[in-house]
Amino acid sequence: MLKGIPEILSPDLLKVLAEMGHGDRIVISDGNFPSASMGKNGVVIRCDGHGVPELLDAILQLFPLDTFVEKPVTLMKVVPGQEVATPIWDTYEEIIAKYDPRGKKAIDFVERFDFYAEAKKAFAVVATGERALYACMILQKGVIKS
């Protein structure tokens, strides 16, 4: 056991977060996301039983968001024609604002298939049991400043 590390972060996830370098990206997926097929070129970490918000909060305690890009957080846009509420996005904005002064300005929204294309290039995919729709995100790692 370690002090100061959020308990929700498994040893496998901690290892991946430490191995990632500046500009590397990680997907935190909801339960409907095709994690195994999207993450076949990277690492897939199972976090079943956990939701995206609690993992996001724990990860951002250790993981700096990239300041060399305007929007280091990417969310998937709702598919046109679908009437889907996305209250989880408000939760994400609150969590991100705790750790990054840009708050919601750090978030970009991309079309579904563009999101999938970017997810396939990610360093890792964290597969959660999140049940909210459109709850997937991609985080781009920044640098720790001394």
pLDDT tens-digit map of 113-132: 999 999 999 999 999 999 99
- Backbone dihedral angles phi then psi of residue 36, each to the nearest 5 degrees: -65, -45
- Work out the percent of the chain whose per-residue pLDDT is above 70: 100
**At residue 42, what is the residue type?**
G
Name the residues annotated as catalytic. Answer: 22, 66, 116
What confidence score (pLDDT) does residue 61 get? 97
- The number of residues making up the chain comes to 146
How confident is the model at residue 39, as a pLDDT?
78
Mean pLDDT of the chain: 95
Query: Domain coordinates of the chain in residue numbers?
Result: 11-140
What pLDDT shows up at residue 38? 85
Percent of the chain with pLDDT over 90: 91
Distances (CA, A) of 3 to 80, 93, 129: 46, 27, 26
3-class secondary-structure state, position 137:
strand
Model confidence at 68: pLDDT above 80: yes
> Kindly report the CA angle at 115 between 73 and 108, in degrees rounded to 5?
30
Half-sphere exposure of 130 (CA within 13 A, CB side): 24
Q: Which residue has the higher pLDDT, 39 or 34?
A: 34
Chain center to CA of 16: 13
Q: What is the distance between the alpha carbons of residues 107 and 121, in angstroms, rounded to a whole number?
A: 19
Name the band, by pLDDT with cuts 50, 70 and 90, for residue 41: confident
Would you state the pLDDT for residue 27? 98
- How high is the pLDDT of residue 24? 97
**Does CATH place domain 11-140 in 3.40.1650.10?**
yes
